[in-house]
């Protein structure tokens, strides 16, 4: 075998040997191989490589430089004889500074820290705002009235709903001047539920040795049927209303109480719009079929409220920071749109967001507890531990103080209330009955007696009509709607849902990524038959794996969605959803108690072999059709059970620290009744101590959430939560994942 020749010898024989130059064959650089035994990278492994965290460090260095400059000036002034003489003049004869001067300096520092922070808590019925340095917030109705539109009481169905007088349904339902007034419509379970509640009330009063009248019902009916109104001249009415004058110089719109004080039959006509309903955007209103219109109204109400209540013009808000309070169990689109409005439209200098239950714990000074926030149209329940929401305990019920007002009015009308034209869709009637509810509603059985009350109907330019009426147990049974929510209709609450805003989706796997807790999912399963049949038995172990969007307080990564072949639903259920998760038709509205899906969903067979993402889309479609309603005591027990995760000690700790906040719970003996109802539940440990309290230290339930957010806004250690204009312009809503104190 001949010896092997080298490459150079072969090139010489073939005539390819380079003999004249040393130039390379091409200009491409040669990349040497990486020594894989000894290499590493630091990419995104240090805080200074993340822009947001790096800017925080740079801001700290700038503040430190400013403090050093101030200290240098103080040192220079200390060497000046004139400065020494002026300083000695402020010292008393004993050589000590007066205590009053130190206190004034401390108060000025605190005021200076909170005077540039505006705390905003938007609700379904009221908006609370104010400086973080204020003691209590300013409150105003979250409503706007726009000119040139038909009043809502002429186009919307009456509240409470009336029975139609003819078979074809052609009778107008908004006209209060018709000679024959239609009777009030009662929900399907009304009669049986009211009879049961009345019997329970009698047993309760008998056990407490209260006096009961056997013919109280007949006495109430006979008095109300015979009563005629009394006329009171305007100058003799000490509580006459201050109407908004729209005849001389009508504005394009009015906000707050000015909007509700516009006469119903004003010329020009005005229509009231409520941009937020049931804790989210109002997609039912025909005006809000455009996202821009709804956001413009929210912007207008907030900026006009700041101008009227705080005395700040819109252009001045660039120098102020804002704290936005959001629901515990929120929709991501709602939070993103609100923050985007604050940063791009109103142009606050910095914005941070805070959850309601955490804010309530800050306001009350509680580090652990179960917070129940009863609002006008929603009730949220969440357990807080060490200043953080327990993600799996969050519950959001679409039921609140407005439902109590409607339930009270329905019971009064059933008992021949003298003013049968009462309609909560009228602005003046709404204000009068809200005031009436606050005066007569109670959960104290000692107040259940045959009582006479007064009610006033006021109109501009006419005499006031004074009605007298009697009540017996209506004032108690209406408040018990919190524990019997089926006596209030809920069909209308999700009309138009997902018609303007779709749910939020994950950009990678196109699955819904709105937060969902196991406690809330358990309520949905108890209400919807399709959810109960298509999921496995253990909700607590299934839902976190299925959704993969449940928020966690720790930094552990979300668990992947496993493949569950036993989750393939049987036929004859809801039709298959598309990958984009398009919302169902608006005609498929939920039933009064949200118990069963619509008929359209049960007609089509369900295909076999669905993927986990398709199952997830179908579950969320069912969530959007089901109104979450549950008795308040049952929801509290479920929230605590999911928060404790089987730890008996935690269950007892949460049961000893239940706090009620919100204006909807300002009812006499509300805490006592809730405590009794929770203790009577089977899931409650028999030997456990249940304590239901209200916010301490003379803080009202309405202002507790706002007060806690103001405390959070003044803390110097919360600078990591503030979103700045420059950061938001660069990252947009992605900044929320870095700036929130929970896993957004």
Query: Looking at residues 454-476, what average pLDDT do you find?
Result: 92
| Distance separating alpha carbons of residues 39 and 688, to the nearest angstrom | 60
Write down the residue that tokens 């609700």 correspond to: 123
Q: Say whether both 470 and 524 belong to one domain.
A: no
> Would you call 358 helix, strand, or coil by DSSP?
helix
Cα dihedral sign for 27, 31, 32, 33? negative
Inform me whether the pLDDT recorded for 164 exceeds 80.
no
Q: For residue 680, count other CB atoms closer than 10 A to its CB.
A: 10
Q: Say whether both 478 and 434 belong to one domain.
A: yes
In tens, the pLDDT along 548-588 reads: 333 433 333 333 433 333 333 444 444 434 444 434 444 33
Identify the band that residue 81 occupies on the pLDDT scale cut at 50, 70 and 90. low
Strands (E), 181-296: 230-232, 253-255, 270-273, 276-277, 280-281
Q: Does 257 or 698 have the greater pLDDT score?
A: 257
pLDDT at 252: 93
Q: Say whether both 475 and 561 belong to one domain.
A: no
Cis geometry, peptide bond prior to residue 268 (ω within 30 degrees of 0): yes
Query: Looking at residues 442-460, what average pLDDT do you find?
Result: 92
Total residue count of the chain as it appears in this document: 744
Contact between residue 371 and residue 661 where contact means Cβ atoms under 8 Å apart: yes
560 in any annotated domain: yes
Lowest mean pLDDT among 30-44, 90-104, 106-120: 90-104
Identify the band that residue 9 occupies on the pLDDT scale cut at 50, 70 and 90. confident
Q: Provide, rounded to the nearest whole percent, the portion of the chain with pLDDT above 70.
A: 81
Token code pair at residue 50: 């993340």
| Distance separating alpha carbons of residues 273 and 290, to the nearest angstrom | 14
Query: Looking at residues 353-365, what average pLDDT do you find?
Result: 94
Query: Looking at residues 204-210, what average pLDDT do you find?
Result: 90
Query: Which residue in 322, 284, 365 sits closest to 118, CA to CA?
Result: 322
Query: Looking at residues 93-115, what average pLDDT do you find?
Result: 53
pLDDT, mean over the chain: 82
For residue 86, count CB atoms less than 10 angstroms from its CB and return exposed for 0-12, middle for 13-18, buried for 19 or more: exposed
130 in any annotated domain: no
pLDDT at 105: 52
In tens, the pLDDT along 235-255 reads: 888 888 889 999 888 999 999
Q: Say whether both 525 and 545 belong to one domain.
A: yes
34 in any annotated domain: no
381 in any annotated domain: no
Q: Say whether both 525 and 579 belong to one domain.
A: yes
Q: Say whether both 435 and 508 belong to one domain.
A: no
Q: Say whether both 478 and 499 belong to one domain.
A: no
Helix (H) or strand (E) holding 409: helix 401-414
pLDDT at 317: 95
End residue of a domain, out of 465, 487, 509:
487
Task: Name the packing angle between helices 81-89 and 51-78 (round to 10°).
Answer: 90
End residue of a domain, out of 487, 518, 545:
487
| Distance separating alpha carbons of residues 160 and 175, to the nearest angstrom | 14
Cα 476 to chain centroid distance, Å, stands at: 27
Buried b (16+ CB within 10 A) or exposed e, 217-241: eeebeebbeebebeebeeeeeeeeb
Phi-psi region of 698 (alpha: psi -120 to 50; beta: other; left: phi over 0): left
| Distance separating alpha carbons of residues 118 and 113, to the nearest angstrom | 11
Q: Provide, rounded to the nearest whole percent, the portion of the chain with pLDDT above 90.
A: 53
Q: Does 147 or 79 have the greater pLDDT score?
A: 147
Full strand arrangement of the beta sheet holding 464-471: 230-232, 464-471, 451-457
Inform me whether the pLDDT recorded for 293 exceeds 50.
yes
Q: How far is CA 686 from CA 73, 683, 690, in A?
A: 67, 9, 10
Q: Say whether both 610 and 501 belong to one domain.
A: yes
Residue 319 has, within 13 A of its CA and on its CB side, a CA count of: 6
Q: Say whether both 499 and 578 belong to one domain.
A: yes
Segments in 493-611 forming alpha helices (H): 518-527, 529-534, 539-547
215 in any annotated domain: yes
Q: How far is CA 416 from CA 164, 192, 419, 420, 450, in A?
A: 18, 20, 8, 8, 15
> Would you call 270 helix, strand, or coil by DSSP?
strand
Q: Say whether both 502 and 575 belong to one domain.
A: yes
- Rounded CA Rg of the chain: 32
Domain tally for the chain?
2
For 272, phi then psi, to 5°, come to: -90, 140
Which CATH number goes with the domain that contains 182?
A: 3.90.640.10
pLDDT at 557: 38
Q: Say whether both 513 and 565 belong to one domain.
A: yes
Inform me whether the pLDDT recorded for 675 exceeds 50.
yes
192 in any annotated domain: yes
For 191, phi then psi, to 5°, come to: -60, -50
Identify the band that residue 541 occupies on the pLDDT scale cut at 50, 70 and 90. very low
pLDDT at 535: 47
End residue of a domain, out of 625, 641, 667:
625
In tens, the pLDDT along 516-531 reads: 999 999 999 999 876 7
312 in any annotated domain: no
Q: Does 428 or 546 have the greater pLDDT score?
A: 428
Lowest mean pLDDT among 420-429, 483-492, 541-550: 541-550
Query: Looking at residues 300-321, what average pLDDT do you find?
Result: 95
Token code pair at residue 229: 């109104």
pLDDT at 88: 56
Q: Say whether both 549 and 437 belong to one domain.
A: no
Helix (H) or strand (E) holding 660: strand 658-661
220 in any annotated domain: yes
pLDDT at 717: 62
Inform me whether the pLDDT recorded for 318 exceeds 80.
yes
Token code pair at residue 312: 């700040």
pLDDT at 38: 66
Q: Provide the domain limits for residue 559.
A: 491-625
pLDDT at 569: 41
Query: Looking at residues 632-652, what average pLDDT do you find?
Result: 94
Identify the band that residue 55 occupies on the pLDDT scale cut at 50, 70 and 90. confident
In tens, the pLDDT along 385-440 reads: 988 999 999 999 999 999 999 999 999 999 999 999 999 999 999 999 999 999 99
């Amino acid at each position: 075998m001949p010896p092997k020749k080298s490459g150079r010898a072969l090139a010489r024989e073939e005539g390819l040997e380079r003999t004249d130059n040393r130039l390379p064959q091409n200009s491409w650089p040669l990349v040497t191989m990486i020594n894989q035994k000894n290499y590493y990278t630091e990419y995104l492994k240090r805080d200074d490589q993340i822009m947001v965290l790096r800017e925080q460090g740079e801001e700290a260095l700038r503040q430190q430089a400013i403090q050093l400059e101030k200290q240098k000036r103080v040192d220079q002034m200390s060497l000046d004889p004139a400065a020494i003489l002026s300083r000695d003049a402020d010292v008393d004869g004993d050589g000590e500074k007066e205590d009053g001067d130190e206190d004034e300096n401390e108060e000025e520092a605190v005021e200076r820290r909170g005077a540039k922070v505006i705390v905003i808590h938007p609700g379904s019925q009221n908006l609370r705002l104010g400086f973080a340095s204020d003691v209590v917030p300013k409150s105003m109705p979250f409503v706007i009235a726009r000119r040139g539109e038909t009043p809502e009481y002429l186009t919307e169905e009456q509240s409470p709903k009336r029975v139609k007088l003819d078979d074809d349904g052609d009778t107008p339902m908004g006209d209060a001047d018709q000679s024959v007034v239609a009777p009030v419509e009662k929900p399907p379970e009304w009669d049986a539920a009211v009879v049961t509640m009345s019997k329970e009330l009698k047993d309760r009063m008998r056990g407490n040795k209260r006096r009961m009248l056997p013919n109280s019902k007949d006495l109430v009916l006979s008095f109300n049927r015979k009563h005629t109104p009394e006329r009171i001249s305007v100058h003799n009415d000490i509580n006459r209303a201050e109407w908004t004058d729209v005849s001389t110089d009508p504005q394009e719109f009015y906000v707050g109480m000015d909007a509700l004080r516009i006469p119903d039959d004003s010329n020009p006509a005005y229509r009231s719009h409520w941009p937020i309903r049931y804790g989210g955007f109002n997609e039912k209103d025909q005006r809000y079929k455009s996202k821009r219109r709804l956001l413009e109204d929210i912007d207008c109400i907030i900026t006009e409220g700041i101008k009227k209540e705080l005395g700040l013009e819109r252009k001045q808000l660039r120098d102020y920071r804002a704290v936005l309070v959001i629901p515990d169990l929120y929709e991501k689109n709602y939070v993103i749109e609100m923050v985007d409005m604050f940063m791009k439209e109103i142009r606050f200098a910095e914005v941070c967001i805070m959850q309601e239950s955490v804010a309530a714990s800050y306001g009350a000074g509680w580090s652990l507890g179960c917070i129940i926030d009863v609002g006008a149209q929603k009730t949220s329940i969440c357990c807080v531990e060490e200043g953080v929401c327990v993600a799996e305990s969050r519950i959001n019920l679409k039921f609140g103080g407005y439902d109590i007002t409607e339930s009270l009015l329905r019971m009064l009308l059933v008992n021949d209330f003298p003013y049968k034209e009462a309609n909560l869709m009228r602005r003046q009637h709404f204000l009068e009955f809200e005031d009436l509810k606050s005066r007569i509603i109670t959960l104290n059985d000692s107040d259940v007696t045959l009582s006479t009350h007064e009610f006033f109907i006021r109109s501009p330019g006419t005499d006031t009509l004074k009605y007298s009426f009697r009540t017996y147990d209506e004032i108690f049974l209406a408040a018990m709607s919190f524990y019997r929510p089926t006596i209030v209709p809920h069909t209308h609450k999700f009309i138009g849902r997902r018609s303007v805003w779709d749910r939020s989706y994950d950009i990678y796997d196109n699955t819904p990524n709105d937060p969902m807790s196991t406690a809330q999912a358990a309520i949905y399963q108890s209400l919807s038959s399709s959810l109960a049949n298509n999921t496995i038995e253990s909700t607590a172990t299934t839902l976190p794996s299925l959704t993969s969007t449940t928020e966690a307080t720790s930094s552990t990564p979300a668990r992947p969605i496993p493949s569950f072949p036993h989750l393939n639903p049987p036929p004859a259920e809801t039709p298959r959803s598309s990958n984009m998760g398009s919302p169902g038709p608006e005609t498929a509205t939920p039933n009064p108690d949200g118990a069963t899906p619509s008929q359209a969903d049960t007609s089509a067979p369900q295909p076999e072999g669905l993927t986990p993402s398709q199952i997830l889309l179908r579950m969320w479609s069912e969530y959007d059709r089901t109104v979450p309603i549950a008795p308040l005591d049952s929801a509290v027990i479920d929230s605590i059970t999911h928060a404790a995760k089987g730890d008996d000690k935690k269950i007892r700790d949460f049961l000893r620290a239940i706090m009620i906040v919100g204006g909807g719970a300002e009812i006499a003996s509300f805490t006592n009744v809730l405590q009794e109802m929770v203790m009577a539940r089977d899931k409650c440990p028999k030997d456990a101590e249940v304590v239901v309290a209200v916010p301490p230290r003379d803080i009202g339930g309405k202002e507790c959430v706002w007060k806690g957010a103001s405390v959070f806004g003044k803390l110097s250690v919360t600078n990591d939560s503030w979103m700045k204009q420059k950061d938001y312009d660069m990252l947009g809503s992605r900044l929320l994942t870095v700036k929130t104190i929970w896993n957004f």
